[in-house]
Chain A
Amino acid sequence: DAEITQSPRHKITETGRQVTLACHQTWNHNNMFWYRQDLGHGLRLIHYSYGVQDTNKGEVSDGYSVSRSNTEDLPLTLESAASSQTSVYFCASSGGRERREQYFGPGTRLTVT
């Protein structure tokens, strides 16, 4: 069955370190998204991609970067982790169907100490 996976599921890192969260989907979807979830804010869009070599900034992109070198993967990099980036991170993907609902990964809980 097609799926979307995220790794690691839990990560503790120190302030100032570079961190990369992986997202891999086997749906063959063109569109991939990264969100962060914090209490009281729902999910907020960080970056998104509509295909290989295409990346776009979302609402809360400062301090994050992505690159899309193939269809299956969209890694999210925190260039210099800050305590404000402690959050749960969700990756999602969607295809070309009209409804285009997004399928979400299980999430990565990141703690920056």
Chain B
Amino acid sequence: AQKITQTQPGMFVQEKEAVTLDCTYDTSDPSYGLFWYKQPSSGEMIFLIYQGSYDQQNATEGRYSLNFQKARKSANLVISASQLGDSAMYFCAMREVMDTGRRALTFGSGTRLQVQP
């Protein structure tokens, strides 16, 4: 079973509008973390936002917020007031304990967001 599922291969949004990118996860680790990364066409991976499994409040970082619904195992990224520079690939990732006993990230397959003027 997929540990991280991003069901939207591609999304379009108008400039200045808000957009939600979906992410669902599956883990039995009670102490997990959820991350969102942005990958523009230049290829680098840019950290956006983090939510810990025990965090009571949804994380926010500037125009990015994470809609964390623990019971539904979802961690959607909300980008407010989209800008042309937000056009990129977005990856959801989960940090959990591995078979080795160490913690590492598992990534989803990504959502390509295109912001239209």
Binding site for B on A (CB under 8 A): 33, 35, 40-45, 48, 50, 56-59, 88, 90, 92, 98-104, 106-107
Contact = CB atoms under 8 A, between A and B. Distances in A.
A50 B93 CA distance: 19
B100 A56 contact: yes
A103 B102 CA distance: 18
**Which label, helix, strand, loop or mixed, suits the secondary structure of the B interface?**
strand
B44 A48 contact: no
Interface in B8-56: 33, 35, 37, 43-45, 47, 50, 52
Contacts, number: 55
A45 B47 CA distance: 17
Given A41-B109, A43-B91, A45-B104, A56 B50 contact: no
B33 A100 contact: yes
B105 interface: yes
A107 to B, nearest CB: 5
A101 B104 contact: no
Contact of A44 (B35, B107, B110): B107
Most chain A beta carbons < 10 A, residue from B43, B103, B104: B104
A90 B37 CA distance: 13
